[in-house]
Amino acid sequence: MVIELGSFDVVIGMDWLSKNDTAILCGEKKVRIPLKNKALIIEDLPGLPPPRQVEFRIDLIPGATPMARAPYRLAPYELKELSEQLKELSEKGFIRPSSSPCEAPVLFVKKKDGSFRMCIDYRELNKLTIK
């Protein structure tokens, strides 16, 4: 696997890099990490980065009013899954209560391992946002 460094001028974690037999390609600004028939999988993220001075916001087209849309119908097991995922994301600090008038419906897609991926349909909101 090759990771492009982009505009970064420093590589931190030399102990890990040397232990995993990586190669720093200075001329290409890349780090090559041999996986040795292993997959690189991040199991869990510890949380969000620290708060910034400027909060993220979505600007709507002037005069646009957020549309209220009925949520998609969910089966009882999907409602349970929604509750569990929202609780987990909230506890990790990935989401928080919103005062936004915008809303978007949620649906679930079954993954290969049998678990569910929450998908949020932002198509209607995207039509109202400044790009």
Most confident range, picked from 4-18, 24-38, 49-63, 85-99: 85-99
The per-residue pLDDT for range 91-102, each reduced to its tens digit, is 888 888 887 788
Residue reference for tokens 């990935």: 94
Select 76-128's CATH number: 3.10.10.10, 3.40.1350.10, 3.40.630.30, 3.40.50.720: 3.10.10.10
Q: For the chain, which residues make up each domain, given as ranges?
A: 2-32, 76-128
Mean pLDDT over each residue of the chain, to the nearest integer: 79
The rounded distance, in Å, linking the Cα atoms of 117 and 129 is 25
- What the block records as the tokens of 3 is 């990771």
Q: % helix / strand / coil in the chain, to the nearest 5?
A: 25, 15, 60
